[in-house]
Structure 1
Amino acid sequence: MTFDWSFFWQNLVSPDGAFLDGLWMTITISMVAMAAGLVLGTVVALLYRSRFTAVRTFAKFYIWLIRGTPLIVQLVIIYLGFAAAGIYKFQDTDVLGVAVKGAVQAAIVGLTIHESAYISEVIRAGIASVDRGQTEAAMALGMRPAGTMRWIVLPQALRTMVPPLGNIFNGLMKHTSLLSIIGVSEMFLVAQSISSTTFKTFEIFLVAALYYLLLTTVWTFVQAWIERRLDDQVGITQPAGRKKLNRPAPAEPVTVLKGVNDA
Protein backbone atom coordinates (compact mmCIF):
# COMPACT_ATOMS: atom_id res chain seq x y z
CA MET A 1 0.00 0.00 0.00
CA THR A 2 1.41 3.38 -1.01
CA PHE A 3 0.69 6.79 0.43
CA ASP A 4 -1.54 8.85 -1.89
CA TRP A 5 0.06 12.29 -1.69
CA SER A 6 -2.36 13.90 -4.14
CA PHE A 7 -5.36 12.76 -2.06
CA PHE A 8 -3.65 13.97 1.12
CA TRP A 9 -2.80 17.44 -0.18
CA GLN A 10 -6.20 17.89 -1.79
CA ASN A 11 -8.03 17.15 1.47
CA LEU A 12 -5.58 19.16 3.52
CA VAL A 13 -5.60 22.31 1.41
CA SER A 14 -9.12 22.10 -0.02
CA PRO A 15 -11.29 19.74 2.06
CA ASP A 16 -14.79 18.97 0.89
CA GLY A 17 -17.94 20.43 2.38
CA ALA A 18 -18.64 17.47 4.67
CA PHE A 19 -15.23 17.75 6.30
CA LEU A 20 -15.61 21.49 6.80
CA ASP A 21 -19.04 20.93 8.34
CA GLY A 22 -17.45 18.42 10.72
CA LEU A 23 -14.73 20.94 11.59
CA TRP A 24 -17.32 23.62 12.31
CA MET A 25 -19.31 21.14 14.42
CA THR A 26 -16.18 20.38 16.45
CA ILE A 27 -15.52 24.08 17.10
CA THR A 28 -19.14 24.88 17.94
CA ILE A 29 -19.64 22.00 20.37
CA SER A 30 -16.30 22.77 22.06
CA MET A 31 -17.15 26.42 22.63
CA VAL A 32 -20.70 25.80 23.84
CA ALA A 33 -19.68 22.95 26.14
CA MET A 34 -16.81 24.98 27.61
CA ALA A 35 -19.05 27.98 28.31
CA ALA A 36 -21.69 25.79 29.95
CA GLY A 37 -18.98 23.87 31.81
CA LEU A 38 -17.61 27.11 33.27
CA VAL A 39 -21.04 28.01 34.63
CA LEU A 40 -21.73 24.56 36.06
CA GLY A 41 -18.17 24.19 37.34
CA THR A 42 -18.41 27.51 39.18
CA VAL A 43 -21.65 26.39 40.83
CA VAL A 44 -20.11 23.08 41.91
CA ALA A 45 -17.02 24.87 43.27
CA LEU A 46 -19.19 27.20 45.34
CA LEU A 47 -21.25 24.26 46.60
CA TYR A 48 -18.00 22.59 47.63
CA ARG A 49 -17.23 25.63 49.80
CA SER A 50 -20.68 25.70 51.42
CA ARG A 51 -20.98 25.72 55.20
CA PHE A 52 -23.65 23.04 54.98
CA THR A 53 -22.29 19.51 55.21
CA ALA A 54 -24.94 17.98 52.96
CA VAL A 55 -24.21 20.47 50.18
CA ARG A 56 -20.45 19.91 50.43
CA THR A 57 -20.98 16.15 50.38
CA PHE A 58 -23.09 16.39 47.22
CA ALA A 59 -20.41 18.47 45.47
CA LYS A 60 -17.68 16.02 46.50
CA PHE A 61 -19.76 13.06 45.31
CA TYR A 62 -20.44 14.76 41.98
CA ILE A 63 -16.75 15.44 41.36
CA TRP A 64 -15.78 11.92 42.45
CA LEU A 65 -18.37 10.29 40.20
CA ILE A 66 -17.70 12.31 37.06
CA ARG A 67 -13.92 12.29 37.31
CA GLY A 68 -13.87 8.59 38.10
CA THR A 69 -15.79 7.40 35.02
CA PRO A 70 -14.71 7.60 31.34
CA LEU A 71 -16.24 10.27 29.12
CA ILE A 72 -17.22 7.72 26.47
CA VAL A 73 -19.26 5.78 29.06
CA GLN A 74 -20.96 8.96 30.22
CA LEU A 75 -21.91 9.85 26.64
CA VAL A 76 -23.43 6.43 26.00
CA ILE A 77 -25.40 6.55 29.27
CA ILE A 78 -26.70 10.08 28.64
CA TYR A 79 -27.73 9.51 25.02
CA LEU A 80 -28.66 5.83 24.86
CA GLY A 81 -28.99 4.72 28.49
CA PHE A 82 -31.43 7.42 29.54
CA ALA A 83 -33.60 6.75 26.50
CA ALA A 84 -33.58 2.97 27.09
CA ALA A 85 -34.50 3.46 30.75
CA GLY A 86 -37.31 5.86 29.86
CA ILE A 87 -35.68 8.72 31.79
CA TYR A 88 -35.18 11.16 28.93
CA LYS A 89 -34.78 10.94 25.17
CA PHE A 90 -33.04 13.70 23.25
CA GLN A 91 -35.20 14.81 20.33
CA ASP A 92 -34.22 16.93 17.34
CA THR A 93 -35.26 20.52 17.94
CA ASP A 94 -34.85 24.06 16.64
CA VAL A 95 -32.80 26.62 18.56
CA LEU A 96 -33.10 30.17 17.21
CA GLY A 97 -34.05 28.77 13.83
CA VAL A 98 -31.15 26.30 13.74
CA ALA A 99 -31.93 22.59 13.70
CA VAL A 100 -30.05 20.81 16.50
CA LYS A 101 -30.04 17.03 16.45
CA GLY A 102 -30.64 15.04 19.59
CA ALA A 103 -27.16 13.52 19.42
CA VAL A 104 -25.61 17.00 19.39
CA GLN A 105 -27.66 18.01 22.43
CA ALA A 106 -26.54 14.89 24.27
CA ALA A 107 -22.94 15.59 23.27
CA ILE A 108 -23.07 19.12 24.69
CA VAL A 109 -24.69 17.90 27.91
CA GLY A 110 -22.19 15.08 28.30
CA LEU A 111 -19.15 17.27 27.67
CA THR A 112 -20.52 19.99 29.95
CA ILE A 113 -21.00 17.57 32.84
CA HIS A 114 -17.64 15.91 32.29
CA GLU A 115 -15.61 19.11 32.04
CA SER A 116 -17.46 20.85 34.89
CA ALA A 117 -16.01 18.38 37.40
CA TYR A 118 -12.48 19.35 36.40
CA ILE A 119 -13.30 23.03 36.05
CA SER A 120 -14.77 23.11 39.55
CA GLU A 121 -11.47 21.90 41.01
CA VAL A 122 -9.56 24.59 39.13
CA ILE A 123 -11.93 27.29 40.33
CA ARG A 124 -11.86 25.99 43.90
CA ALA A 125 -8.06 26.03 43.92
CA GLY A 126 -8.03 29.52 42.41
CA ILE A 127 -10.38 30.84 45.08
CA ALA A 128 -8.30 29.21 47.80
CA SER A 129 -5.18 30.94 46.46
CA VAL A 130 -6.62 34.37 47.34
CA ASP A 131 -5.58 35.49 50.82
CA ARG A 132 -8.41 35.10 53.30
CA GLY A 133 -7.70 38.55 54.61
CA GLN A 134 -9.18 39.96 51.40
CA THR A 135 -12.52 38.37 52.22
CA GLU A 136 -12.38 39.44 55.86
CA ALA A 137 -11.60 43.03 54.87
CA ALA A 138 -14.51 43.09 52.42
CA MET A 139 -16.88 41.69 55.03
CA ALA A 140 -15.66 44.28 57.53
CA LEU A 141 -16.62 46.98 55.03
CA GLY A 142 -20.16 45.61 54.90
CA MET A 143 -20.03 43.65 51.65
CA ARG A 144 -22.24 40.58 51.36
CA PRO A 145 -20.65 37.17 50.69
CA ALA A 146 -21.95 37.08 47.11
CA GLY A 147 -20.61 40.55 46.39
CA THR A 148 -17.29 39.71 48.00
CA MET A 149 -16.93 36.66 45.80
CA ARG A 150 -17.99 38.55 42.67
CA TRP A 151 -15.95 41.73 43.08
CA ILE A 152 -13.01 40.78 45.33
CA VAL A 153 -12.14 37.09 45.22
CA LEU A 154 -12.91 35.92 41.69
CA PRO A 155 -11.09 38.78 39.86
CA GLN A 156 -7.92 38.04 41.84
CA ALA A 157 -8.26 34.27 41.38
CA LEU A 158 -8.84 34.57 37.63
CA ARG A 159 -5.16 35.01 36.75
CA THR A 160 -4.17 31.73 38.41
CA MET A 161 -7.13 29.90 36.84
CA VAL A 162 -6.54 30.84 33.20
CA PRO A 163 -3.66 28.42 32.40
CA PRO A 164 -5.37 25.25 33.73
CA LEU A 165 -8.71 26.30 32.24
CA GLY A 166 -6.97 26.82 28.92
CA ASN A 167 -5.54 23.32 29.13
CA ILE A 168 -9.01 21.94 29.84
CA PHE A 169 -10.42 23.64 26.73
CA ASN A 170 -7.47 22.34 24.72
CA GLY A 171 -8.30 18.81 25.81
CA LEU A 172 -12.02 19.38 25.26
CA MET A 173 -11.48 20.05 21.55
CA LYS A 174 -9.70 16.71 21.26
CA HIS A 175 -12.34 14.93 23.35
CA THR A 176 -14.93 15.80 20.70
CA SER A 177 -13.51 12.93 18.65
CA LEU A 178 -15.28 10.59 21.09
CA LEU A 179 -18.65 12.01 20.04
CA SER A 180 -18.61 9.73 17.02
CA ILE A 181 -19.71 6.93 19.37
CA ILE A 182 -23.18 8.52 19.57
CA GLY A 183 -23.33 9.53 15.91
CA VAL A 184 -22.37 13.21 16.04
CA SER A 185 -21.01 14.29 12.65
CA GLU A 186 -17.92 16.02 13.98
CA MET A 187 -14.56 16.00 12.27
CA PHE A 188 -13.47 12.52 13.38
CA LEU A 189 -16.69 10.81 12.27
CA VAL A 190 -16.53 12.56 8.90
CA ALA A 191 -12.95 11.35 8.50
CA GLN A 192 -14.14 7.82 9.28
CA SER A 193 -16.83 8.10 6.60
CA ILE A 194 -14.33 9.33 4.02
CA SER A 195 -11.98 6.51 4.98
CA SER A 196 -14.66 3.85 4.53
CA THR A 197 -15.56 5.07 1.04
CA THR A 198 -12.09 5.87 -0.34
CA PHE A 199 -9.96 3.36 1.62
CA LYS A 200 -7.46 6.17 2.15
CA THR A 201 -7.35 5.60 5.89
CA PHE A 202 -3.91 6.90 6.77
CA GLU A 203 -4.17 9.92 4.49
CA ILE A 204 -7.52 11.21 5.76
CA PHE A 205 -6.76 10.59 9.43
CA LEU A 206 -3.46 12.40 9.03
CA VAL A 207 -5.42 15.33 7.61
CA ALA A 208 -7.78 15.20 10.61
CA ALA A 209 -4.82 15.08 13.00
CA LEU A 210 -3.31 18.19 11.42
CA TYR A 211 -6.60 20.06 11.72
CA TYR A 212 -6.87 19.11 15.39
CA LEU A 213 -3.30 20.36 15.77
CA LEU A 214 -4.29 23.61 14.05
CA LEU A 215 -7.20 24.13 16.44
CA THR A 216 -5.10 23.54 19.55
CA THR A 217 -2.29 25.74 18.21
CA VAL A 218 -4.64 28.65 17.53
CA TRP A 219 -6.06 28.30 21.02
CA THR A 220 -2.52 28.33 22.48
CA PHE A 221 -1.96 31.79 20.98
CA VAL A 222 -5.37 32.99 22.19
CA GLN A 223 -4.63 31.75 25.69
CA ALA A 224 -1.23 33.46 25.69
CA TRP A 225 -2.92 36.74 24.65
CA ILE A 226 -5.45 36.41 27.48
CA GLU A 227 -2.68 35.79 30.00
CA ARG A 228 -0.74 38.85 28.79
CA ARG A 229 -3.83 41.03 29.17
CA LEU A 230 -4.39 39.79 32.70
CA ASP A 231 -0.72 40.32 33.54
CA ASP A 232 -1.00 43.95 32.41
CA GLN A 233 -4.12 44.46 34.52
CA VAL A 234 -2.67 43.06 37.73
CA GLY A 235 0.71 44.74 37.20
CA ILE A 236 2.99 41.76 36.64
CA THR A 237 6.32 42.74 35.09
CA GLN A 238 6.66 41.31 31.61
CA PRO A 239 9.77 39.61 30.19
CA ALA A 240 12.15 41.46 27.89
CA GLY A 241 10.56 42.48 24.62
CA ARG A 242 7.12 42.98 26.16
CA LYS A 243 5.51 45.93 27.85
CA LYS A 244 7.16 46.82 31.15
CA LEU A 245 5.78 48.71 34.10
CA ASN A 246 6.99 52.25 34.70
CA ARG A 247 9.27 52.43 37.69
CA PRO A 248 10.13 55.56 39.72
CA ALA A 249 13.46 57.17 38.94
CA PRO A 250 16.23 56.51 41.48
CA ALA A 251 16.69 59.15 44.11
CA GLU A 252 19.39 61.75 43.57
CA PRO A 253 22.58 61.12 45.59
CA VAL A 254 22.94 63.26 48.69
CA THR A 255 26.01 65.48 48.76
CA VAL A 256 27.56 66.03 52.16
CA LEU A 257 28.93 69.57 52.54
CA LYS A 258 32.34 70.17 53.95
CA GLY A 259 32.37 71.45 57.45
CA VAL A 260 29.00 69.97 58.42
CA ASN A 261 30.61 67.26 60.44
CA ASP A 262 32.88 69.84 62.11
CA ALA A 263 29.94 71.96 63.28
Structure 2
Amino acid sequence: MQKLADQLERDADEFVIRPRRHYGRTLAAIVVGVLAVSLAGAIVTNPNFDWPTVGNYLFAQVTINGLLVTLYLTVASMLLGIVGGVLMALMSMSKNPVLRIVAWGYITVFRGIPTLVQILFWGFLGAFFPRIAVGIPFTDITFVDVPTSSLISATGAAILALGLNEVAYMAEIIRGGIRSVDQGQREAAAAMGMSPGLIMRKIILPQAMRVVIPPTGNETITVLKTSSLVSVIAGNDLMTNVQQIYSQNYKVIPLLIVASLWYLTVTVILSFFQSRIERRFGQSDAVQNTARKG
Protein backbone atom coordinates (compact mmCIF):
# COMPACT_ATOMS: atom_id res chain seq x y z
CA MET A 1 0.00 0.00 0.00
CA GLN A 2 2.86 2.35 0.86
CA LYS A 3 4.57 1.52 -2.44
CA LEU A 4 1.40 2.41 -4.35
CA ALA A 5 1.15 5.75 -2.52
CA ASP A 6 4.81 6.51 -3.29
CA GLN A 7 4.29 5.63 -6.95
CA LEU A 8 1.23 7.92 -7.19
CA GLU A 9 3.20 10.73 -5.56
CA ARG A 10 6.05 10.31 -8.07
CA ASP A 11 3.57 10.26 -10.95
CA ALA A 12 1.89 13.42 -9.64
CA ASP A 13 5.23 15.21 -9.53
CA GLU A 14 5.74 14.43 -13.21
CA PHE A 15 2.37 15.85 -14.28
CA VAL A 16 2.43 19.24 -15.99
CA ILE A 17 -0.67 21.29 -15.33
CA ARG A 18 -1.59 23.48 -18.25
CA PRO A 19 -4.43 26.02 -18.22
CA ARG A 20 -7.40 25.25 -20.40
CA ARG A 21 -7.39 27.12 -23.67
CA HIS A 22 -10.39 29.32 -24.41
CA TYR A 23 -10.29 29.83 -28.16
CA GLY A 24 -13.66 31.57 -28.28
CA ARG A 25 -12.62 34.06 -25.62
CA THR A 26 -9.36 34.78 -27.44
CA LEU A 27 -11.15 35.28 -30.75
CA ALA A 28 -13.69 37.62 -29.14
CA ALA A 29 -10.86 39.66 -27.57
CA ILE A 30 -9.13 39.99 -30.94
CA VAL A 31 -12.34 41.11 -32.68
CA VAL A 32 -13.16 43.65 -29.96
CA GLY A 33 -9.59 44.94 -29.97
CA VAL A 34 -9.59 45.41 -33.75
CA LEU A 35 -12.93 47.22 -33.63
CA ALA A 36 -11.74 49.47 -30.79
CA VAL A 37 -8.54 50.41 -32.60
CA SER A 38 -10.46 51.04 -35.83
CA LEU A 39 -12.97 53.27 -34.05
CA ALA A 40 -10.21 55.22 -32.27
CA GLY A 41 -8.36 55.68 -35.55
CA ALA A 42 -11.50 56.89 -37.30
CA ILE A 43 -12.15 59.44 -34.56
CA VAL A 44 -8.57 60.73 -34.39
CA THR A 45 -8.11 61.05 -38.17
CA ASN A 46 -11.57 62.49 -38.90
CA PRO A 47 -11.10 66.16 -39.85
CA ASN A 48 -14.72 66.95 -38.95
CA PHE A 49 -13.85 66.70 -35.25
CA ASP A 50 -11.47 69.65 -35.70
CA TRP A 51 -8.90 68.57 -33.10
CA PRO A 52 -6.84 71.78 -33.38
CA THR A 53 -9.85 73.77 -32.15
CA VAL A 54 -10.32 71.26 -29.34
CA GLY A 55 -6.72 71.80 -28.29
CA ASN A 56 -7.09 75.57 -28.43
CA TYR A 57 -10.09 75.67 -26.08
CA LEU A 58 -9.40 72.65 -23.84
CA PHE A 59 -7.34 74.71 -21.37
CA ALA A 60 -8.66 78.15 -22.30
CA GLN A 61 -9.42 80.43 -19.36
CA VAL A 62 -13.12 80.59 -20.16
CA THR A 63 -13.27 76.78 -20.17
CA ILE A 64 -11.42 76.46 -16.86
CA ASN A 65 -13.68 79.09 -15.28
CA GLY A 66 -16.74 77.13 -16.35
CA LEU A 67 -15.20 73.91 -15.04
CA LEU A 68 -14.58 75.50 -11.64
CA VAL A 69 -18.20 76.65 -11.46
CA THR A 70 -19.34 73.12 -12.39
CA LEU A 71 -17.22 71.63 -9.59
CA TYR A 72 -18.58 74.23 -7.16
CA LEU A 73 -22.15 73.38 -8.15
CA THR A 74 -21.48 69.67 -7.72
CA VAL A 75 -19.89 70.01 -4.27
CA ALA A 76 -22.46 72.51 -2.95
CA SER A 77 -25.40 70.51 -4.29
CA MET A 78 -24.10 67.24 -2.82
CA LEU A 79 -23.49 68.84 0.58
CA LEU A 80 -27.02 70.20 0.56
CA GLY A 81 -28.31 66.85 -0.64
CA ILE A 82 -26.50 64.83 2.04
CA VAL A 83 -27.44 67.09 4.95
CA GLY A 84 -31.03 67.43 3.77
CA GLY A 85 -31.16 63.73 2.89
CA VAL A 86 -30.22 62.70 6.43
CA LEU A 87 -32.91 64.99 7.85
CA MET A 88 -35.53 63.80 5.37
CA ALA A 89 -34.64 60.14 5.96
CA LEU A 90 -35.06 60.56 9.72
CA MET A 91 -38.37 62.32 9.16
CA SER A 92 -39.61 59.51 6.91
CA MET A 93 -38.85 56.98 9.69
CA SER A 94 -40.26 59.10 12.49
CA LYS A 95 -43.16 57.87 14.59
CA ASN A 96 -44.78 61.28 14.12
CA PRO A 97 -47.27 60.93 11.22
CA VAL A 98 -46.97 64.62 10.30
CA LEU A 99 -43.22 64.31 9.76
CA ARG A 100 -43.65 61.10 7.78
CA ILE A 101 -46.29 62.65 5.51
CA VAL A 102 -44.19 65.77 4.90
CA ALA A 103 -41.13 63.66 4.07
CA TRP A 104 -43.15 61.41 1.77
CA GLY A 105 -44.64 64.43 -0.01
CA TYR A 106 -41.24 66.09 -0.45
CA ILE A 107 -39.58 62.96 -1.81
CA THR A 108 -42.48 62.26 -4.15
CA VAL A 109 -42.60 65.76 -5.59
CA PHE A 110 -38.88 66.26 -6.14
CA ARG A 111 -38.35 62.78 -7.55
CA GLY A 112 -41.36 63.11 -9.81
CA ILE A 113 -40.60 66.50 -11.42
CA PRO A 114 -37.80 66.47 -14.04
CA THR A 115 -34.60 68.19 -12.97
CA LEU A 116 -34.71 70.52 -15.98
CA VAL A 117 -38.14 71.78 -14.93
CA GLN A 118 -36.88 72.38 -11.39
CA ILE A 119 -33.90 74.36 -12.72
CA LEU A 120 -36.20 76.50 -14.83
CA PHE A 121 -38.52 77.09 -11.90
CA TRP A 122 -35.75 78.29 -9.61
CA GLY A 123 -34.09 80.24 -12.40
CA PHE A 124 -37.28 82.19 -13.10
CA LEU A 125 -38.53 82.31 -9.52
CA GLY A 126 -38.78 86.09 -9.78
CA ALA A 127 -41.59 85.68 -12.32
CA PHE A 128 -43.68 83.95 -9.63
CA PHE A 129 -42.47 85.87 -6.60
CA PRO A 130 -41.05 89.27 -7.66
CA ARG A 131 -40.02 90.08 -4.10
CA ILE A 132 -39.10 87.98 -1.07
CA ALA A 133 -40.35 89.41 2.19
CA VAL A 134 -39.96 88.11 5.74
CA GLY A 135 -42.15 89.51 8.48
CA ILE A 136 -45.09 88.84 10.75
CA PRO A 137 -47.87 86.97 8.92
CA PHE A 138 -51.18 88.76 8.32
CA THR A 139 -49.64 92.14 9.17
CA ASP A 140 -47.81 94.86 7.26
CA ILE A 141 -44.70 94.44 9.41
CA THR A 142 -41.72 93.16 7.38
CA PHE A 143 -38.12 92.67 8.42
CA VAL A 144 -36.69 91.83 4.99
CA ASP A 145 -38.08 92.84 1.62
CA VAL A 146 -35.76 92.42 -1.38
CA PRO A 147 -36.19 91.68 -5.10
CA THR A 148 -35.97 87.97 -5.81
CA SER A 149 -33.56 88.48 -8.71
CA SER A 150 -31.03 90.21 -6.45
CA LEU A 151 -31.28 87.53 -3.76
CA ILE A 152 -31.13 84.41 -5.94
CA SER A 153 -28.56 84.54 -8.73
CA ALA A 154 -28.27 82.02 -11.55
CA THR A 155 -25.66 80.09 -9.58
CA GLY A 156 -27.81 80.18 -6.45
CA ALA A 157 -30.82 78.96 -8.40
CA ALA A 158 -28.72 76.11 -9.82
CA ILE A 159 -27.59 75.04 -6.34
CA LEU A 160 -31.15 75.16 -5.02
CA ALA A 161 -32.47 73.14 -7.93
CA LEU A 162 -29.74 70.50 -7.93
CA GLY A 163 -29.38 70.36 -4.14
CA LEU A 164 -33.07 70.16 -3.24
CA ASN A 165 -33.58 67.58 -5.96
CA GLU A 166 -30.68 65.56 -4.57
CA VAL A 167 -32.17 65.68 -1.06
CA ALA A 168 -35.01 63.44 -2.25
CA TYR A 169 -32.67 60.82 -3.70
CA MET A 170 -30.20 60.90 -0.82
CA ALA A 171 -33.08 60.51 1.64
CA GLU A 172 -33.98 57.18 0.08
CA ILE A 173 -30.34 56.08 -0.04
CA ILE A 174 -29.73 56.98 3.61
CA ARG A 175 -33.02 55.43 4.69
CA GLY A 176 -32.00 52.18 3.01
CA GLY A 177 -28.62 52.30 4.73
CA ILE A 178 -30.22 52.84 8.14
CA ARG A 179 -32.67 50.00 7.55
CA SER A 180 -29.75 47.69 6.72
CA VAL A 181 -28.39 47.92 10.30
CA ASP A 182 -29.56 45.12 12.57
CA GLN A 183 -32.44 46.25 14.77
CA GLY A 184 -30.96 44.32 17.67
CA GLN A 185 -28.07 46.79 17.95
CA ARG A 186 -30.52 49.65 18.40
CA GLU A 187 -32.36 47.71 21.09
CA ALA A 188 -29.12 46.78 22.88
CA ALA A 189 -27.94 50.40 22.87
CA ALA A 190 -31.31 51.57 24.18
CA ALA A 191 -31.11 48.97 26.96
CA MET A 192 -27.75 50.48 27.97
CA GLY A 193 -29.46 53.86 28.43
CA MET A 194 -28.29 55.60 25.26
CA SER A 195 -30.58 58.28 23.84
CA PRO A 196 -32.10 57.83 20.35
CA GLY A 197 -29.98 60.66 18.96
CA LEU A 198 -26.78 59.17 20.38
CA ILE A 199 -27.69 55.74 19.04
CA MET A 200 -28.19 57.20 15.60
CA ARG A 201 -24.89 59.14 15.62
CA LYS A 202 -22.64 56.56 17.25
CA ILE A 203 -24.06 53.21 16.15
CA ILE A 204 -26.53 53.36 13.27
CA LEU A 205 -25.05 55.94 10.89
CA PRO A 206 -21.43 54.69 11.04
CA GLN A 207 -22.55 51.17 10.10
CA ALA A 208 -24.94 52.44 7.45
CA MET A 209 -22.05 54.16 5.67
CA ARG A 210 -20.91 50.96 3.97
CA VAL A 211 -24.31 50.76 2.28
CA VAL A 212 -24.66 54.50 1.66
CA ILE A 213 -21.26 55.28 0.13
CA PRO A 214 -21.51 53.39 -3.22
CA PRO A 215 -24.82 54.98 -4.33
CA THR A 216 -23.68 58.34 -2.95
CA GLY A 217 -20.66 58.19 -5.24
CA ASN A 218 -22.92 57.42 -8.17
CA GLU A 219 -25.17 60.32 -7.21
CA THR A 220 -22.17 62.66 -7.14
CA ILE A 221 -21.28 61.69 -10.69
CA THR A 222 -24.92 62.10 -11.71
CA VAL A 223 -25.06 65.60 -10.22
CA LEU A 224 -21.83 66.49 -12.03
CA LYS A 225 -23.38 65.58 -15.38
CA THR A 226 -26.82 66.94 -14.54
CA SER A 227 -25.24 70.32 -13.79
CA SER A 228 -24.88 70.74 -17.56
CA LEU A 229 -28.64 71.48 -17.60
CA VAL A 230 -27.88 74.71 -15.73
CA SER A 231 -26.96 76.19 -19.10
CA VAL A 232 -30.67 76.84 -19.72
CA ILE A 233 -30.52 79.63 -17.11
CA ALA A 234 -26.98 80.75 -18.01
CA GLY A 235 -25.44 79.44 -14.81
CA ASN A 236 -21.84 80.22 -15.88
CA ASP A 237 -20.95 76.53 -15.70
CA LEU A 238 -18.82 74.58 -18.17
CA MET A 239 -21.64 73.89 -20.62
CA THR A 240 -22.85 77.51 -20.48
CA ASN A 241 -19.40 78.85 -21.35
CA VAL A 242 -18.95 76.29 -24.11
CA GLN A 243 -22.29 77.24 -25.63
CA GLN A 244 -21.38 80.92 -25.52
CA ILE A 245 -18.18 80.18 -27.41
CA TYR A 246 -19.68 78.10 -30.19
CA SER A 247 -22.55 80.56 -30.58
CA GLN A 248 -19.88 83.02 -31.75
CA ASN A 249 -17.48 80.86 -33.78
CA TYR A 250 -19.97 78.11 -34.80
CA LYS A 251 -17.49 75.38 -33.82
CA VAL A 252 -20.21 73.29 -32.18
CA ILE A 253 -18.70 69.80 -32.36
CA PRO A 254 -15.16 70.73 -31.18
CA LEU A 255 -16.52 72.71 -28.23
CA LEU A 256 -18.85 69.87 -27.23
CA ILE A 257 -15.85 67.55 -27.33
CA VAL A 258 -14.02 69.95 -24.99
CA ALA A 259 -16.88 69.80 -22.50
CA SER A 260 -17.16 66.02 -22.84
CA LEU A 261 -13.46 65.52 -22.16
CA TRP A 262 -13.62 67.57 -18.97
CA TYR A 263 -16.79 65.81 -17.73
CA LEU A 264 -15.15 62.47 -18.48
CA THR A 265 -11.95 63.44 -16.69
CA VAL A 266 -13.73 64.54 -13.52
CA THR A 267 -15.91 61.42 -13.62
CA VAL A 268 -12.83 59.19 -13.75
CA ILE A 269 -11.27 61.04 -10.81
CA LEU A 270 -14.46 60.76 -8.75
CA SER A 271 -14.75 57.06 -9.60
CA PHE A 272 -11.19 56.50 -8.41
CA PHE A 273 -11.81 58.11 -5.02
CA GLN A 274 -15.14 56.29 -4.73
CA SER A 275 -13.42 52.92 -5.25
CA ARG A 276 -10.77 53.77 -2.65
CA ILE A 277 -13.38 54.74 -0.06
CA GLU A 278 -15.43 51.61 -0.78
CA ARG A 279 -12.29 49.48 -0.44
CA ARG A 280 -11.49 51.08 2.91
CA PHE A 281 -14.94 50.38 4.32
CA GLY A 282 -14.79 46.90 2.82
CA GLN A 283 -11.55 46.22 4.70
CA SER A 284 -13.14 47.35 7.97
CA ASP A 285 -16.04 44.98 7.34
CA ALA A 286 -13.61 42.14 6.65
CA VAL A 287 -11.79 42.82 9.93
CA GLN A 288 -15.09 42.81 11.83
CA ASN A 289 -16.16 39.52 10.20
CA THR A 290 -12.79 37.94 11.04
CA ALA A 291 -13.11 39.10 14.64
CA ARG A 292 -16.60 37.57 14.90
CA LYS A 293 -15.38 34.23 13.51
CA GLY A 294 -12.42 34.24 15.89
Shared topology, TM-score over 0.5?
yes
**Is 2:235 aligned against 1:189?**
no
3-state SS of 1:50 partner = coil
| 1:183-218 deviation digits (Å, cap 9, x = unpaired) | 111000111111111111101101111110111110
- 1:166 maps to which residue? 217
| C-alpha displacement of 1:234 | 3.0
Q: Which runs of 5+ in 2 are unaligned?
A: 1-46, 133-147
- 1:84 maps to which residue? 128
* 1:7 aligns with one of 41, 53, 71: 53
RMSD: 2.3
CA contact (8 A) 1:90 1:105 kept: no
- 1:216 maps to which residue? 267
Mark the CA change 1:236 to 1:179 in structure 2 (over 3 Å): closer, same or farther.
Answer: farther
Map 1:1-263; keep pairs closer than 5 Å. Answer: 2-12=48-58, 15-86=59-130, 88=132, 89-91=148-150, 102-235=153-286
What is the distance in 2 between the residues matched to 1:155 and 1:90?
41
Which contiguous aligned blocks of 4+ residues in structure 1 show a shift greater than 6 angstroms? none
What is the distance in 1 between the residues matched to 2:107 and 2:280?
31
- 1:240 maps to which residue? none
What is the distance in 2 between the residues matched to 1:115 and 1:131?
27
CA contact (8 A) 1:41 1:120 kept: yes
CA contact (8 A) 2:242 2:259 kept: yes
Whichever residue aligns with residue 105 of structure 1, its letter is G
TM-score (norm 1): 0.83
Whichever residue aligns with residue 200 of structure 1, its letter is K
Mark the CA change 1:219 to 1:236 in structure 2 (over 3 Å): closer, same or farther.
Answer: farther
| C-alpha displacement of 1:3 | 3.6
What is the distance in 2 between the residues matched to 1:229 and 1:163?
12
What is the distance in 2 between the residues matched to 1:16 and 1:142?
60
What is the distance in 2 between the residues matched to 1:79 and 1:4?
34
3-state SS of 1:91 partner = helix
3-state SS of 1:142 partner = coil
Mark the CA change 1:2 to 1:129 in structure 2 (over 3 Å): closer, same or farther.
Answer: closer
Structure having the higher helix fraction is 2
Mark the CA change 1:18 to 1:121 in structure 2 (over 3 Å): closer, same or farther.
Answer: same
CA contact (8 A) 2:69 2:238 kept: yes
Provide the aligned length of Structure 1 versus Structure 2: 233
What is the distance in 2 between the residues matched to 1:208 and 1:78?
24
CA contact (8 A) 2:91 2:99 kept: yes
What is the distance in 2 between the residues matched to 1:164 and 1:90?
35
Whichever residue aligns with residue 218 of structure 2, its letter is N
| 1:44-67 deviation digits (Å, cap 9, x = unpaired) | 000001101111011001000000
CA contact (8 A) 2:231 2:239 kept: yes
TM-score (norm 2): 0.74
- 1:241 maps to which residue? none
Whichever residue aligns with residue 163 of structure 2, its letter is T
CA contact (8 A) 2:126 2:149 kept: no
Whichever residue aligns with residue 84 of structure 1, its letter is F
Mark the CA change 1:134 to 1:69 in structure 2 (over 3 Å): closer, same or farther.
Answer: same
What is the distance in 2 between the residues matched to 1:192 and 1:148?
50
3-state SS of 1:235 partner = helix
| C-alpha displacement of 1:232 | 2.5
| 1:160-192 deviation digits (Å, cap 9, x = unpaired) | 110001100010000110111111110001111
Q: Which runs of 5+ in 1 are unaligned?
A: 93-100, 238-244, 250-263
Could you tell me the percent identity over the aligned residues?
Answer: 35
3-state SS of 2:150 partner = coil
